[in-house]
Amino acid sequence: MGTGMREGPEIWIRGPVAAPETAPPEPAHARATARRFSWVGLHGGAGVSTLAAVYGGHDSGRAWPGPADPRSVLLVARTHAAGLDAVVPVVDLFRRGETPEGLDLDAVVLVADAPGRLPRPLAQRVRLVESVIDVYRVPWVNEWRLGDLGGRPPRETESLARLTGAAR
């Protein structure tokens, strides 16, 4: 048929079907801004200050974010036994609604406690955590241990860098 009318499911509509109007392009200033996060450590030495310095966001230390701080929370723990044991009870606090009002748990960030692979028992604990919430893993970074927080974040953390807006 050469009538210029579109064919397809519209045949059930009586009369010609006009092409949908296209919306005008959004102005450049309408782009979404990166979401801001509060890093919350689940134990001393979790790496909250380092992560906040490298990826941006608010360093809450081991406290809940205050009213003026970002309400999106990233929980931080090391991959040693005590660090992994601290994760599930706090995730459960969020699930039960027993955290300060307005906080939103986005993910857990597990920071390597040593270079190399995790021993099997710790890797099993990580899989347990991953079964209940999104987990981002941060490898051992010797430069960070030496205080050098410049440079690009580790390649293995690209998804975390995208989440926090630190991707370059």
Q: Is residue 75 part of a domain?
A: yes
CATH number for 109: 3.40.50
Q: Name the domain count of the chain.
A: 1
Q: Answer yes or no: is 7 within a domain.
A: no
Residue identified by tokens 């609604």 is: 97
Assess if residue 29 is contained within a domain: no
Query: What is the domain extent for residue 113?
Result: 34-164
Per-residue pLDDT of the chain (168 residues; tens, 9 = 90+): 455 554 544 444 444 545 555 555 544 444 445 578 999 999 999 999 999 999 999 999 999 999 999 999 999 999 999 999 999 999 999 999 999 999 999 999 999 999 999 999 999 999 999 999 999 999 999 999 999 998 889 999 999 999 998 875
Inside any domain, residue 20: no
Q: Which two tokens stand for residue 145?
A: 């241990």
What's residue 44's pLDDT? 95
Q: Is residue 65 part of a domain?
A: yes
Asked whether residue 113 is assigned to any structural domain, the reply reads yes
Quote the pLDDT of residue 116.
94
pLDDT for position 11: 44
